[in-house]
Amino acid sequence: MKILIKNGHIVDPSQEIDAPGDIVIENGKIKEIILETSPGRVPAPGLDIQSFTVIDASGFHVFPGLVDMHVHLREPGFEYKETIKTGTRAAVHGGFTSVCCMPNTNPVNDNETVTEFILRKAYADGACYVFPIGAITKGQKGEELAEMGMMAEAGCVAFSDDGRPVMSSLVMRRALEYSRRFDLPIISHAEDEDLSSGGVMNEGRVSLQLGLRGIPSEAEVVMIKRDIELAKLTGGRLHIAHVSTAGGVRAVREAKKEGLPVTAETCPHYFTLTEDAVKGYRTEAKVNPPLRTTGDIEAIREGLVDGTIDVIATDHAPHHRDEKLCEFDRAAFGISGLETALPLSLSLVREGVLTLSDIARKMSLNPSTILGLGKGSLKTGSDADITILDLKKGWKVEPERFLSKGKNTPFEGFVLEGLPVITICKGQVYEREDR
């Protein structure tokens, strides 16, 4: 299939491009970028335009397809929450062309059979590319290392016990040591369970008012600092998942200053909402780590600006309605994030915090580089994974319109600006019906 994307504003940090131009796609690969300033500019001389599907991107921005390095696809085992099919459709709807799925499925992705199952399903049913993340420990129990070598061979791109921390420092040390053999990162769900134990929201003023048990910031900070020390000891690559605290940002900043192999991500809810969102016992705002304070939001934004935080990921955590329609204490932790992440992140651009190029880095190039996915770029020869954005399009968040089975979002009713109107992936052109 031949596609010509005409007159879009192309943003590709891998080539330092932030300029108007056209993109030529042939056989699922990027053939050429012709910038408006290029000599002999479009309509590209010699192009047999009749044989091309032409996409008019006038007034739109053209990004490398977004890469989400932290998604829960729930299959196998929790298909009532999400499947590989629905999760990847939700991803494409949100502008993502690659997602990395966490291993807290049933059975846990702690061996190559489960990894191969996920890859097979994703190949058959997936609207976008799926890269599995294997468990660090068997059954995510935190005790015995999983079959990391076999999983690496089968196609896992990182290891994590996400959803649960690895409480044993010795096990974490061994995981970081062992992962060096495959040059794959260990992704830390940084939570000291002794400190967070029984907590359901941030510990502070609001938890006191609501009479809910709190999770102190220190539950995250203590664990980030431990894992940084272990990365220093072992030389293993460490990636900190869903940073939610100012202390966490400071710890990662210091580690980077020391030159340690540490990277970090945050999620849109951590730079958008505070613990106040929980008021009224709103279970949609129950997430782990919990929503924090204005001070934490400021620190996370600073961390995004100075490069301490490399990645914006969703931590897409779809749940069934009944798992949120219950008492706050009993409700599941998690936010369905794939279909709101990009517009929420674009609000940082409107507020002058980040540039569009920063967004393309943190939501495409950086996660791809950290995990070695070979995505996140519009260079000649790359897969034609492309996200076309209408930055001005206003829309209201209506969870019932999500393609994800998970309608659990604290952003219901928010009016956001910016929509991924067309996503190109695996040779398909997906156009949003509400563009």
The residues binding ligand DOR (CB under 6 A) are 72, 104, 162-163, 189, 287-288, 315, 317, 333-334
DSSP class of residue 144 equals S
| Residue of 110, 296, 315, 390 marked active site | 315
What count of Cα atoms within 13 Å lies in the side-chain half-sphere of residue 364?
27
Please say which residue, 189 or 301, places its beta carbon nearer to ligand DOR. 189
Please identify which residue in the block is written with the tokens 């489960």: 114
Please state the closest distance from residue 196 (CB atom) to ligand DOR, in A: 11
| DSSP conformation letters of 272-287 | H--GGGGTTT-GGG--
Please say which residue, 283 or 293, places its beta carbon nearer to ligand DOR. 283
Alpha carbon distance 143, 163 (integer Å): 15
Cα angle 330, 163, 311; round to 5: 125
Please state the closest distance from residue 288 (CB atom) to ligand DOR, in A: 4
Alpha carbon distance 60, 186 (integer Å): 37
Please say which residue, 62 or 335, places its beta carbon nearer to ligand DOR. 335
Please state the closest distance from residue 70 (CB atom) to ligand DOR, in A: 9
Please state the closest distance from residue 334 (CB atom) to ligand DOR, in A: 3
Nearest CA-CA partner of 242 in 185, 301, 189, 196:
189
Is residue 390 part of the annotated active site? The answer reads no
DSSP class of residue 360 equals H
Is it true that the peptide bond before 289 is cis, omega within 30 degrees of 0? yes
Alpha carbon distance 58, 74 (integer Å): 38
Please say which residue, 161 or 310, places its beta carbon nearer to ligand DOR. 161
Give yes or no for a contact between 30 and 384, defined as CB atoms under 8 angstroms apart. yes
Phi-psi region of 390 (alpha: psi -120 to 50; beta: other; left: phi over 0): beta
Please state the closest distance from residue 290 (CB atom) to ligand DOR, in A: 9
Please say which residue, 72 or 324, places its beta carbon nearer to ligand DOR. 72
Give yes or no for a contact between 433 and 405, defined as CB atoms under 8 angstroms apart. no
Please state the closest distance from residue 188 (CB atom) to ligand DOR, in A: 11
| DSSP conformation letters of 20-84 | EEEEEEETTEEEEEEETTSTTPSSPTT--GGGSEEEE-TT-EEEEPEEEEEE---TTT-TTT--H
Please say which residue, 162 or 385, places its beta carbon nearer to ligand DOR. 162
> Looking at the annotation, which residues are catalytic?
315
